[in-house]
Amino acid sequence: MNEAAQSLLGPHLSRLLTPAERRELSGWVEDLPEQGGELALLCRNSTFRASFWASFPDGLEGRALISVGVSPAASDAIQLRRLEQAVEGREIGIYEHDHVSDQVYASEATREHFGLGDKVDLQVPDFTACVVEADRESFVAAVAAAHSPTGNGRFDHTNRSWGPDGQMRWVHSVGWSYFGEGEDGERRVLRTVGSTKDVTDEVLVQNRQRRLSAALESSPDVVALARRDGTLLYANASGRKSLGLAPGQSVDALRICDLLPSSGIEQLVQALLPGLEESGVWEGDLDLRGPEGVIPCSVVLQLHPADLPWLESFISVQARDLSEKLELEAQLLHSQKLEAVGRLAGGVAHDFNNLLSVIQSSLYLLREDGPDAPTADEYLEDIHRAAESAGRLTSELLAFSRRQVLRPRPLDLNESVSKLERIASRLLGADVDLRVELGELGALTRVDPGRLEQVVLNLLINARDAMPDGGVVVLETQRVVLDEEYARTHSEVVPGPYLLLTVSDNGVGMDAETQRHIFEPFFTTKAVGRGTGLGLATVFGIVRQSGGHIWVYSEPGRGSSFKIYLPVHTEGAADAIEAEPVQPRPSAGERVLVVEDDPGLRRLVVEVLGRGGYRPIAANGPLEALAIVRSGVPVDLVLTDVVMPQMSGKDMIDALAAEGHPLKALYVSGYTENTVVHHGVLQAGTHFLSKPFAPVQLLEAVGIALAAEGASAG
């Protein structure tokens, strides 16, 4: 019976009693009478009061039922045990330091936190020894402060310690010291109780958060968080700087739109925020406010839904300054332009030097042999061919630079391709199989028919040269729609309907590096003497000047495919009917006022017109021409250069019309980016002759301009 009682009492009560108190309780158990008994024990350490009862119910011989009754003034030690049991499941440890006996009780969790193991009779130095050396000094100081009679008894410290598994952990300890009066009447600490917790995970999270915060704060990108309504919750240093806030100033009451420079953009953002509800993310370029003005930025807005019903969802904003990137791109583009200009200048100089050499050599030989020599006609023919080649070269240069004169009209693409089929077959030769596949277009495009023919023929020549042993060329048309997704990856494309003309071959193909340069002037992969290097550059210029786009798809050994996208003509089909061409009128001695600031060209034009039966009147510029007309000299047609030092030919014609002299006009120029030609497209009714021109072309253009009804359109 006594052994059973000891077994029951030992593990539950012995730790609360001093050795003497345990002996007193044990003696009581030893001397229990047969009918049981009662013991009221008051512990000398003033921490525990309890009553013990022992009884022996019938039928339970050999067993003692011991119960403990705690008095209403139960000690803090019992409460500590209850707290210990309550928090054990939450991995919180409990400790108690009895300063009278200088013994420390530590729960299993606290022992684990400090790596104490099964050590008994714990004292404060045992805990200190488990603390990492770097934290030991601050730990000892915190303990001393908590035990100091002059302090408030508060202990709150976080330290690192080594666990039994050899892993370092962070332990957060809190405690309260209770003081009483000692025998000498002075205030002294009697007892300290507290708790410990392993906060390693929390510390690691805090460290990660600090690192993340440091990264966000040091980032040159603007990073902000906002509520769904756009009000800001957070902005990093770059964001606060963009908002014009002082360091430490709150972002409360500010909104996402305050990052932006104008109310127009604000409305855009207000429209974007509701859209985030569906897509969850928006990416694009926006202008943001900056300390020194507007900054172009790449912006990402993302909606982050709440993980739990009571949490608030939020919007993250990330904006990257594109100024440096755009500046570098501009520098790269400028350098590429300079490289292209250098290649262009070198190619032009090379070709023109060849042509000038032919002309100069032929003239020299013509003078040496005399005009009556048998070879005179050959020399003149060589000069004529060289001049024609020079004219073609300048025409190709204008096409590449998109400054040639276009005469666009609504056009049936299928009909135009069908007309070219016979010419294309002869051009490609017998060893090339030409296949034409026309789709259902149901729409017209608006292009210059002659320039479209030039584009197709140039591409066919390119395909033929890519198939030295013959092959297949496919001409294909279809109607397509280029959507916004396509436009995002092709910056010059405007989304909408297009007519697609594809020229494909199964020739040698091109690698990626060749494709990057294929439309540059004088870039060619052909052998020396085969082509000028302007064919595809001309194609590119014509297509782009016509409002279209051209892309090449090719792989070495797998052929090439050139895709030309021409915009659908949106006006009615009525203007698709081409007017009957005006026939030139035979000369009848009409007076033609020739306005040209270049004396050599003016003299030649006057000579050609005189030989053609006209009566030319020469003027060295617009001011002299105005004076001639104002003086009353009758004029039937004004043949004028477009760009001249004093005023443009267009302004001169307009001035004469305003003064009551509406005259027919024929404009002549080698450069067409001016007031007469808007973006390279002639206004309806305008008569234009492109330089260089042959005498027969000049006479034909004058005859057509004179045959037209009324004055030329300004």
Secondary structure of 483-548 in the HEC alphabet? Answer: CHHHHHHCCCCCCEEEEEEEEEECCCCCCHHHHHHCCCCCCCCCCCCCCCCCHHHHHHHHHHHCCC
In the block, residue with structure tokens 């500010």: 254
Q: What angle do CA 92, 96, 102 make, to 5 degrees?
A: 145
CA dist 442 to 449, 569, 667, Å?
A: 19, 11, 37
Strand, helix or coil for residue 402: coil
- What pLDDT does residue 425 have? 80
- What pLDDT does residue 402 have? 43
Residue 587 CB partners (closer than 8 Å, separation 6+) = 612, 613, 614, 699, 702, 703
- What pLDDT does residue 613 have? 92
Q: Phi and psi at residue 612, in whole multiples of 5°?
A: -85, 5
- CB atoms closer than 10 angstroms to residue 554: 22
Residue 501 CB partners (closer than 8 Å, separation 6+) = 413, 417, 456, 475, 476, 477, 563, 564, 566
Task: Check residue 559 and give left, alpha or beta (phi > 0: left; psi -120 to 50: alpha).
Answer: left
- What pLDDT does residue 457 have? 83
Torsion of CA 205, 207, 212, 214, to 10 degrees: 160
Q: Phi and psi at residue 251, in whole multiples of 5°?
A: -95, 5
- CB atoms closer than 10 angstroms to residue 478: 15
Strand, helix or coil for residue 83: helix
For residue 501, give both structure tokens.
Answer: 């003309």
Gap between the Cα atoms of 48 and 191, Å rounded: 13
Residue at 593: amino acid letter: L
Q: What angle do CA 146, 151, 154 make, to 5 degrees?
A: 40
In the block, residue with structure tokens 């035979």: 586
- CB atoms closer than 10 angstroms to residue 324: 9
pLDDT < 50 regions, the chain: 1-2, 4-5, 8, 12, 44-48, 59-65, 69-75, 399-403, 528-529, 572-579, 672-681, 713-714
- What pLDDT does residue 512 have? 84
End-to-end CA distance of the chain: 129
- CB atoms closer than 10 angstroms to residue 400: 25
Residue at 4: amino acid letter: A
- Chain segment 603-648, per-residue pLDDT in tens: 888 988 998 999 999 999 999 999 999 999 999 999 998 878 888 8
For residue 271, give both structure tokens.
Answer: 């429209």
- CB atoms closer than 10 angstroms to residue 699: 19
- What pLDDT does residue 642 have? 82
The strand pairing partners of 95, in sequence order, are 106, 194
Preceding amide of 296 cis, omega within 30:
no
559 in Cβ contact with 506 (< 8 Å): yes
For the chain, give the number of residues. Answer: 714
